[in-house]
Each structure stands twice: as C-alpha cells, then as structure tokens.
Amino acid sequence: MSIKPQVSWTKQIGNVLILLASAFLLANIFLPGLFGTSIPRVPYSLFIEQVEDGNVTKASLGQEEIRYQVKGTENQPGQILSTTPIFDLELPKRLEAKGVEFAAAPAARNSWLSSILSWVLPPVIFVLVWQFFLNRGGGGPAGALSITKSKAKVYVEGDATKTNFNDVAGVEEAKTELQEIVEFLKNPQRFLQIGARIPKGVLLIGPPGTGKTMLAKAVAGEAKVPFFSISGSEFVELFVGAGAARVRDLFEQAKKKAPCIIFIDELDAIGRSRSSGNFAGGNDEREQTLNQLLTEMDGFSAGDATVIVLAATNRPEVLDPALLRPGRFDRQVLVDRPDLAGRLKILEIYAAKVKLDPSVDIKTIATRTPGFAGADLSNLVNEAALLAARNNRTTVAQEDFNEAVERVVAGLEKKSRVLNDKEKKIVAYHEVGHALVGKMMPGGGKVSKISIVPRGMAALGYTLQMPTEDRFLMEESELHDQIATLLGGRAAEELVFDSITTGAANDLQRATDLAERMVTTYGMSKVLGPLAYDKGQQNSFLGDAMFNPRRSVSDETAKAIDNEVKELVENGHRQARAILHANRELLEKIAEKILETEVIEGDQLQELLDQIKPVERITVSA
Ligand code: ADP
C-alpha cells in the first residue's frame, strides 16, 4: 500500500477564492472609480468660471478632488462634476462670496481598510504564490511548506512486502548474507540479550538491474516488516537544508513503525565523497544531507527500535569513507550479474509466468546470454512473449526467444558487455593464464575463483586471488610473483592465439606500476641501490610532487630506472610464458571447462590447478 496524501479539493477552491478576492480589493484600492460610478472631471479653470458665474450650488473640498453641483432646473437637480484642486487659498473666499454651500470632504471611507490590506495582502499573496510553486514542483505530499517531509514510499502490506527470497534468483551469496538481517528483524531479542549489536546498515553493491531493490523488498517480505523506499536523488533539492530535513523525517516515520527497513536506492547521489570534486566549492546541500544521514544512523542505538537501513549503489568507489565506518554501512553485499546457473534460475522464474512451447530449451537461452542482469532476462522473456503474440501464436517458442535475445543484445550493446564467441574464448584463456601463473607463483595470494562473466563496469572476466593471511610486509620474490601473474593473461593470449588484444591494458598498467615502485620506492634494484627515487608523501600537498613525483635525478639515473622497470616487467612476462608453455594442455583443459560453466571455484578449481607442472624460476638478471 502506498500512502500518498492529496491536496484536498476544498482547499484548492478556497485558494482560488482568496486570490480572486484579493485581486478585486487591490484593484479597488489602486484604481478607485473603476468599480464605482464615475463623475465627469473638468478643468479647474472651468470650475472657477462656473463659481464666478454663480452656477455652483454646493462643493465638497477634498485634498485630491473637489466635487461640486451646478445649478439645476426645477425638474432636474444640477449635474455633479469633479475637478482636481490646485493650491488656491482664495477659494473659500470666492465660494463664500458667491453663496456656495461648501464643506471639506469627509475622510475616504475605506482608508483604514486599505491601509490594513496594504499590510496584510502582500504577504498573503506571497504565501499563495509560494504554495502554488511547491505544489507544482514538488509533487510531494500535502500542501504548503511540505519540502521538509520525506517522499519515501511506504509499503506496509501488499505487493512489495509479498516479495520473498524465492522471487530473486542467481544471487545466492547475497541471499545467504541477507538471511541474517531477516533473523535480526524477526527476533531482535535473541541477539540483544547476548549483548550483540544489531547491524544498522547494509550496502548492496552491484550493476543496475541485478536485483538490489528486489532483494531489499524480499528482506522486508521475509521478515514481514514495513518497507520504506526512497531514492538518494530525491533527497537532493534546490533548497539547502531540505534534504537533511527529509532524512530526519524519514527516520522519524520509520522509528514509529519499527521494526522496519529503510531502503535508499542510488546512495551515491548523496553519499559521494566529501573531499572529492570540492575544488569548485562543493555541494552544500548534498553534504548536509549526508551529514544528517550519518547522524541519524549513529543516533539509533541498540536499545531503540530495530530500523535497518539497506542502501544500493553501483559506484561504491565514490562513496564517502564515513559511510562505510562501523555502525553505519559496515556490511557490504555484492550483487553481481548472474552466472550460467543463476541465469537459468532467473529465466525459469519468468518463463513460468508465460505459456511456453514444450520445445523451448531454457538452458540454451541461458548459455547465450552471458552478461545479462536479472532485469535484462525478465525483459527478454517479456520480449519473446510479445513476439509470439504478435505472430498470433498461443505459446512462446524457441524462435521467439532467439529473436528476443538478438533484440535485447542489440539494445544492450551500448549498455553492457555481451561478448561474441571469439572474445569469450580469448577472455577464457586470458583468465586461465592468470590463474595458472598465480598458482605457480603464489605471491599474490591463493587463486580462488576464475570467472568469465563480465563484471561491473570494467572487467570482462576476472581471476580472484585471496590472501591466505593478513600481510603487512611483502618480500621481493612475492612482488616478482605478482608481476608474473599480472602478465599471465597476455602470455596466454600470445601462446594460444599468436596475437594480442587490448584486454591486458589494466594488467600491464598494474604490473608496470608495481615494478616502478620496486625500483623507486622500495629500493629493490641492485643496479640503483637502496635509494628512494620518488618523493613519497612528503610535500605532496599541492607541492611539486603532484607534477613531478620523482626526486631530481640525472639523466643517466632516469634512464637506469626506466631500464630496471622494463627489465622487471619483461622478466615477469618471460616467467609467465615459461609456465604456460610447460602447461599448455592444462591451460586448454581449464579454458574449455570455463567456457562451459563460466565460473570455476572451490574444490573443483583446486583439483584442476593441482595438476600443474612445476617450472623453474627465472632469476632476475639485474
Ligand atoms: P536494481 O535495484 O539492482 O537496479 P531491481 O531490483 O530494480 O534492480 O531489478 C529490476 C527488475 O529486474 C526486478 O523488478 C525484477 O523483475 C528483475 N530482476 C532483477 N534481478 C533479478 C533476480 N536476481 N531475480 C529475479 N528477477 C530479477
């Protein structure tokens, strides 16, 4: 149920009436005579002439107007005329001399009214205009001055909270982590009595359309609690302070309904790092909103009602570090694009909602759609159903799906990466190359997952290396290992395809950076000795280190540094090639496997990697 108060129509009519009345009064004050009977106005000289001729019977002398009556006939009273007075001290004497009956004009009857109105009306009109713009621009709840009210949609019962974990597929890890939150909401006492602190914030990180909003709703649905939903961009308003007031109001509403969930979509709209991009003076409104959010999150403590804030973003790297501190969004859940098995499950959910032809093979569709997020898949099924209906069929056939895939892919190409078969193969060998070299040279950690599901915004595939323990110091040999592992991808491409692609750019960048640091920061080069050639952190604040990070060195030293860096990277490259050359068969075997399953991890991966043939280390010549 969505609560959205309306501005009542009686109030609207009232406003219109007030506006009309004020317009009428104003016109009356400023344009006298417009609505009254008008009296002919004559020149002052004519008035005097008429007095002198003895034609005037009565006169009323006002400061701004003289009204007078001329002599009439027996049947008809004389006409009333007016004129504008001039400064004429002789006038009373003249009138007296001609026997005109005269008096000063009474004070204007509505002068007190007009003076009050001139004070009261402008503010009234101002408020009315203000209200008009707010109602038009805000579209938000209830009438005047509602800018401080939060626009959160509240779902107490109904569709949103009927969503549960079964409706979301292909994000099993995220579901497992969120299951815990459901437990907190269902039975907070169980945790509180041991003295555990219930988490306040959970950040869902992942590309658009992967089901973050759905997961948040499912948590509320599973725990059967109300669900407040608002998008980060709705907090950011024209008026400084309005966003902060909205945050306050949102938390107030939520606390009344606790236990409950607040879901903030697009957290990055308010949660951008405060230090970044502030050269132009920053954005006060966003900063205040963010501060208020932090204050509110710190404000409710364990004793308070359970309000858990879930937030979603696809750009975690721009978030302010303050948001990620303990007690705020200290839990982060990755919601990535689904792998083959995940896509299959999602397709099954949506395919169950349409009439399928028995010939349809969902597995094939899932295989053809790497890189599709949940939203794309649900769109795909709908597209296929539309095509079937357009072709006057009663069930959705395989051909509809094939055409729909093409349509969605053509539409997606700009948005997300969908690889063709050749690219997919290159990515597979590239990643297995990293994995094999990483296995042989474990300085970068234990290889724990290989995936060729395009991930996030940049990578087409990835090899995950997990550190086996916390490390604070790195040995030189481990850095050599890391450089070799980074070059494993490029080496595999060379070996298998005898050509290279642009896909290794990021690897090369990282390998070169690492090699440069070994030489210039860690003093690991025998040729150059234990000297720090870069300036490190010193003077780095707007100092010349920003423009020239190296110490002033002679041309020869600069050349030697470049040579050393090159040597280190090339050595890693040779090492990687040697390992892959010796393990060509294993490389092919794992690559074929991953082309089928897209992800290999856990025991299966370790079993495969354990078959590696050892290769001697190439010692660095320097
Ligand atoms: P996000 O918040 O990550 O951008 P949404 O949760 O709004 O994505 O997903 C949009 C739509 O896509 C959902 O309403 C749902 O129909 C579909 N969808 C996305 N991911 C999944 C999933 N993992 N399982 C089932 N449906 C999904």
Cβ-based neighbour number of residue 285 at 10 Å: 19
Q: Is 342 in the pocket of ligand 1 (CB under 6 A)?
A: no
Between 149 and 262, the more confident residue is: 262
Average pLDDT on 360-378 reads 86
Q: Is 267 in the pocket of ligand 1 (CB under 6 A)?
A: no
Between 468 and 162, the more confident residue is: 162
Average pLDDT on 301-308 reads 68
Q: Is 618 in the pocket of ligand 1 (CB under 6 A)?
A: no
Q: Are strands 599-601 and 446-451 parallel, antiparallel or unpaired?
A: antiparallel
Q: Are strands 307-313 and 260-265 parallel, antiparallel or unpaired?
A: parallel
Cβ-based neighbour number of residue 48 at 10 Å: 17
Cβ-based neighbour number of residue 30 at 10 Å: 10
Contact 173, 210 (CB under 8 A): no
Question: For 17-21, 276-280, 312-316, which range has the lowest pLDDT when averaged over its residues?
Answer: 276-280
pLDDT beyond 50 at 413: no
User: DSSP strand E in 443-566: where?
Assistant: 446-451, 462-466
Cα angle, residue 154 at apex, residues 153 and 155 outer, rounded to 5°: 120
Give every strand in the sheet of 599-601, ordered side by side: 462-466, 446-451, 599-601
Name the residue with the closest Cα to ligand 1, atom 6. Answer: 211
Residue whose pair of structure tokens reads 């090639």 in the numeric block: 577
What local confidence, expressed as pLDDT, does residue 311 receive? 93
Distance 342 CA to ligand 1 centre (A): 13
Residue 431 annotated as catalytic: yes
Residue range 568-597, pLDDT digits in tens: 999 999 999 999 999 999 999 999 999 988
Contact 499, 430 (CB under 8 A): no
Query: Kind and range of the H or E element at 437?
Result: helix 421-440
Question: For 22-31, 240-249, 390-399, 408-417, which range has the lowest pLDDT when averaged over its residues?
Answer: 408-417
pLDDT beyond 60 at 380: yes
Distance 161 CA to ligand 1 centre (A): 15
Share of the chain above pLDDT 90, in %: 23
Q: Is 207 in the pocket of ligand 1 (CB under 6 A)?
A: no
Distance 402 CA to ligand 1 centre (A): 22
Q: Is 379 in the pocket of ligand 1 (CB under 6 A)?
A: no
290: amino acid identity, one letter: L
Distance 375 CA to ligand 1 centre (A): 5
Q: Is 259 in the pocket of ligand 1 (CB under 6 A)?
A: no
Q: Is 229 in the pocket of ligand 1 (CB under 6 A)?
A: no
Whether the full predicted model's pTM is greater than 0.75, yes or no, is no
Cβ-based neighbour number of residue 104 at 10 Å: 9
What local confidence, expressed as pLDDT, does residue 2 receive? 38
Query: Kind and range of the H or E element at 201?
Result: strand 201-205
Contact 227, 166 (CB under 8 A): no
| Best of 214, 266, 345, 416 for a ligand 1 pocket test (most atoms within 8 Å of beta carbon) | 214
The 8-class DSSP code of residue 543 comes to S
Residue tagged active-site, from 237, 296, 383, 431: 431
What local confidence, expressed as pLDDT, does residue 239 receive? 65
Cβ-based neighbour number of residue 471 at 10 Å: 10
